[in-house]
Amino acid sequence: MTGGGGFLGSAIVRRLIEKGFRVRSFSRGRYPALEKLGVEGFCGDLADPEAIKAACKGCEIVFHVAAKAGIWGPYEEFHSANVEGTHNVLAACEFNKIRKLVFTSSPSVVFDGEDMEGVDESVGYPKTYKAAYPETKAVAERLVLSQNGESLATVSLRPHLIWGPGDTHLVPGIVKRGRTGGLKRIGSKQKLVDFTYIDDAAEAHLLAAERLQAGSPISGRAFFISQGEPQPLWDFINRVLAAADLPQVEKSISPKLAYLAGWVFENLYRIMRIRRDPPMTRFLAEELSTAHWFNINAARQDLSYEPGTSFEEGFVRLREWLRSESGLALLR
């Protein structure tokens, strides 16, 4: 498991442990919580091929979850982690004669800046991207799927906007911006967007692992994963804010103005070599002003995937977590 200490990675690890599997995690740092579960920890960088080869020795299957995510940053850093790192994982699988690889991708690899409503896996990759993350994840996904064959069976999962207790990205980002008043609706229309509860995202990975083998119906394919209930984007954001006892988002700006602001911030941050995320980018402006929800019939049919957590139950759990010691510590 690459990225076993992350939000999704740790959820998959816990499920594997519960099912009696021995798990090894490859991450940049140590995670005492995983070690307490009996997980064997390997520290290293995805850019180090020898470290990954050593970590994969003796394994039967690899879950490649680790990646550099984000809306901003030098392309080289995303390429190193997401493309070169994936190449190194594939090489480690070949070197250690590992037969199965489950890759964690993202629906953003096919996002072209326009509304995507109910599209399935037949939709192609766009010609250009406005952020390094989706571009490098698309390259990595194509690399993984191209390596599917008799010696190594591969599958790619595309869970969309994973959320829930323990979230280290989506929910904290919404809450932190909500506290500073930095959130504004983009556009006046309520666009529908897919989300994936953390338990469902983890379960999809285990289902894929169970069914994956050379020549199987899922090998060499990508699958969209979500809760199967597209939500109005700003309704979801406001429910997260309500769970954190923060005011609702009421102010709005036009999509064109948001996109222009993103262009200005990107150039300003690039010239001034500012490494933190800008308050707006072109990619983020398009993400927040378009519909993006996906047909998950293929996952239902070929993975036997079925979302198991409703939004109502998910928000009950999220609210409880936000009031817990770990939730408060993460959001400070």
pLDDT digits (tens, 9 = 90+) for 77-95: 999 999 999 999 999 999 9
| Per-residue pLDDT at 211 | 97
| Per-residue pLDDT at 190 | 86
| Per-residue pLDDT at 146 | 98
Domain total of the chain: 1
pTM (predicted TM-score): 0.95
Task: Give the chain's mean pLDDT.
Answer: 94
Does any domain span residue 2? no
Does any domain span residue 111? yes
Does any domain span residue 85? yes
pLDDT in tens, 153-191: 999 999 999 999 999 999 999 998 898 887 899 988 889
State how far the Cα of 247 lies from the Cα of 10, in Å rounded to an integer.
Answer: 31
Asked if 248 and 209 touch (Cβ cutoff 8 Å), the reply is no
**Where does residue 125 rank: exposed (0-12), middle (13-18), buried (19+ CB within 10 A)?**
middle
Does any domain span residue 136? yes
- DSSP label at 109? G
pLDDT in tens, 259-317: 999 999 999 999 999 988 999 999 999 999 999 999 999 999 999 999 999 999 999 99
Does any domain span residue 315? yes
Q: What is the CATH number of the domain that holds 174?
A: 3.40.50.720
Residue 60 pLDDT > 90, yes or no?
Answer: yes
| Per-residue pLDDT at 332 | 67
Does any domain span residue 1? no
**Given 31, 129, 133, 197, the catalytic residue:** 133
Does any domain span residue 326? yes
| SS3 assignment, position 2 | strand
Domain that holds residue 271: 7-331
Mean pLDDT of 231-249: 94
State how far the Cα of 246 lies from the Cα of 238, in Å rounded to an integer.
Answer: 9
133 catalytic, yes or no?
yes
Residue 240: partners with Cβ closer than 8 Å, 6 or more residues away: 163, 171, 174, 175, 178, 318
State how far the Cα of 212 lies from the Cα of 138, in Å rounded to an integer.
Answer: 21
pLDDT above 70 covers a percentage of the chain that reads 99
